[in-house]
Structure 1
């Protein structure tokens, strides 16, 4: 393979051609076809020509390249993507090296490169004119050079890639992709104005430049453009009818607006305010379809201008320039989806009130199913005399889940040992509980860390307590974290105990014995509360109380006369006691239990929560603007199939919370 470069010099009318450079290359060891070798030789010529032009600073000189291979010339004259990989790579390199060159075909006998390929003796080389000056016609003017037409040989493999037949269908330009990419109208208008300037620059429109800042006129043109595009997409038939002078049906929403097309081509409201002394935009507002993306951007801009005002204020701001079909409905819907407004409304999720647990509906002995909670702290004094020291004490409140009976114990500290001692005193007088219910540790707001640790389901203290309960055959159940309303039974008891305690002692400090005595009296009062409203029957003087299930009567009732002198057999006395006890349970099931049938709140089920829903995690310690944003990762439905507890993931951690602590954000995935 070889390549030869000649330089043609014009000296007046005389044209001289002389040899400048040549290069030969041995064929590679890898066997190649003749067309591929000729293509490689042509590539050698292209590289050599570029080298000579760079060295002699002849970058702008006219260049002609010849090859005696018609196949090579066919490859070079077509796009590189048409050929297979070997030819494609070299043709692509050709086109980069010889962008301004003219390729032509020369017969092999007139190709001086063959002299180097075939070889010449020294005697032949000295007098070989073809080698030193090229073919004779090269010294003539380029217009008289011979031309040789390409003849395609059908028997030669051109290494062409298989053809792919494409069927193209013209589609309208997707103009709406741009508007869907922005959540701010101002940003949309600015980007649109810049795009319009760029298009004008490509069209060589006078005074069009990208260097100057955007003007008010540019933004106004962008605004009118999007209004017209939106109307053309949603009001295509209506615009055609108006241009033809046709009328709408009476039920059409545009009929009452008497619309017309203004001088800018915008569909506007006709109305009855032609002579009103207001601006033209307020008299003839642009009509915007409520389901369009532009309507959402306009409402969002109006809400920002009114500082997140309500529906009426936002609608008034809109009506100064636009008439969005649907009136208040689209504005109200947008405000309901606004995250900042949702934070301030604090509309928490509410599920249908669940079924009462079996522990509250089973006619079993008192305190067989018990709920426990802590109250306090309460300040105590070490003794009555002078020089006493004050310290904190706590109240352990045990509530019967069935009869609402209350048992109160004073705890000197909040250690596991202190609670175990109180629990031992409770079970010694009330019997061992089958089930024990309590809040999780996170519900003890304001309590010390040790108290929360005591009631945390994963702490060492709770394991110590659980081992004690297991030995007694008691099952300890925790409510979900952050859900104090799940333990409404003992929360109500805590409230009642505090009610009597604060009114009795006020700011006084009591000793441990005095507080124990006072709590026993408060316990008697609470166990004397009626479980059902008193009737108007003058003969019904006694109400069913928790004390009836403990001692057969209310603890605060005056003692009855002794019946020991009456001649009643032991069997009759035992039957009398059983009859009274059965009467208590009958009144409990027919009176008190029926009062629990009605639902006092949370009347409707909700099904808005699903995996992936975006929510706000409420926290009473912070303002709504600082509530954490979270996403639901798991649902925990109850026995009725309704979800009241979910697992959520915040930016820092994963939590399990009741839905009452969540604010559901009405945001679709496309709006996120």
Structure 2
């Protein structure tokens, strides 16, 4: 295939690949190679050089290389009339066929005043009384401004379009009269946009050996936020030149957002602009400077001790990835050129600082705004500051006098029951360490996790059934209105509780045995805690097994597996042990501990330890023998009948 239909989505990538392939085959000099690789956008070349001689060399060398690759570089437009005259007329752009003093061209969709070497814009707004959301969006898209040079003038239209969207109107429904009048006023002011001029050259040609740095300004309001970037250059004689490079602005979300959040979002736009501009500029730059009139946003960025909620935390992290805290400075709202991005304006109201930055940028650093004590400290009451949550409430009690139970604190902190049990288990270990001073660094055992689970359940039950617990402790019955009345609730440690109450005043020899005997003979105790008449099924014994079905798939994981020392089972265990040697042991320990599974063998030749399943095996064995004997008896009878016949 030697050609592609024009306009296909593959055209850009195909032509770019062919262009780079030509460079690879020809191996031109570095100057031409850089021009072909970095100064082309699909089939358009944009190149800026310092002298007419360099211009001629770039044109001739580039055309020579491309000619060998099958490309014909044509449609030249140069901002030097003498150089343009040296180009054949058929190779000039159509705007330059006749050399006039008022030549205009396009540079990637942007109007270019060739004689004055400036960019400008032309309004395409159309006055119409039937203004709909579709019309508004169409006119917004017709103003092509990739660098954001006239973005302050476009922001009011974006705000009006958002207001129409907030009213939930359809695309072809006329907007309200009040909104339509504002829109038509903006369209009228847009006709004056052609008066604005933006120099294409941001670095003076006669300045050699100069130093350059980027300055980014950001601001936000209730309706919009944005950032703009300026290039500040100082020559060897101390002259300062400042030029606007780019800007970016967004309307505030329809869902209400606080001003501090919008301010930090504007700072993010400034950080993004810094990355993009640095990547595109091919001149050496000093460290960038960032300016904001929001002290709270600067406090967020320069914070080193506080933790923020997700919205602010994510944006501060992005900002700190591309900049340092000492690069951010405070500027007053009157001197912030980004203020016009956050509110928008008409052409007549566009301030001079938008083109050349605030006046202090044209002075030396000693005349810049002072930064002493302008950024305040974050307060605990700040809604974006995350409140510290400690793993136990002991520290909280010491710091703020809060008497919340440690288990309540852990329940609020964790959303996983397993992680909660681990936290309580480690907390119990800490208590034991503080009492006995014996450190334990091994992982939590299953019995520790079970103890932690029981402690959690008891605590939650005590909180949920506080009055019921108090009634039982006082020897009273549970009220019939209680949701657990029909369950006949009792306290497991009733004997211990009774004994402790008695020992507050008297010490009874063999008191525990006496309390148990009295409890057995107590009529009230029997009435309150006696077993009901209907028989209830008891819990399965800890060593009970389920003989039928698939225990893992249907009944879940067992808490403990018991088996005898049969050769097949012992061999299986040994085979499993060999298989898991190369596995992640810590993972296995965590998973088995999570499911509370243990596997224990009976002593060899001690089948009586497994009486439950041995009895079941014997029963199945006898049943199988009886079935075989019955089958054999039937077959013998049939055989005799056949023999008699």
TM-score of Structure 1 vs Structure 2, range by shorter chain = under 0.3
TM-score normalized with structure 1 length? 0.26
Higher helix share: 2
Rg larger in structure: 1
Asked which structure has the greater RCO (Cα within 8 Å, sep 6+), the reply is 1
TM-score (norm 2): 0.27
More strand by share: 1
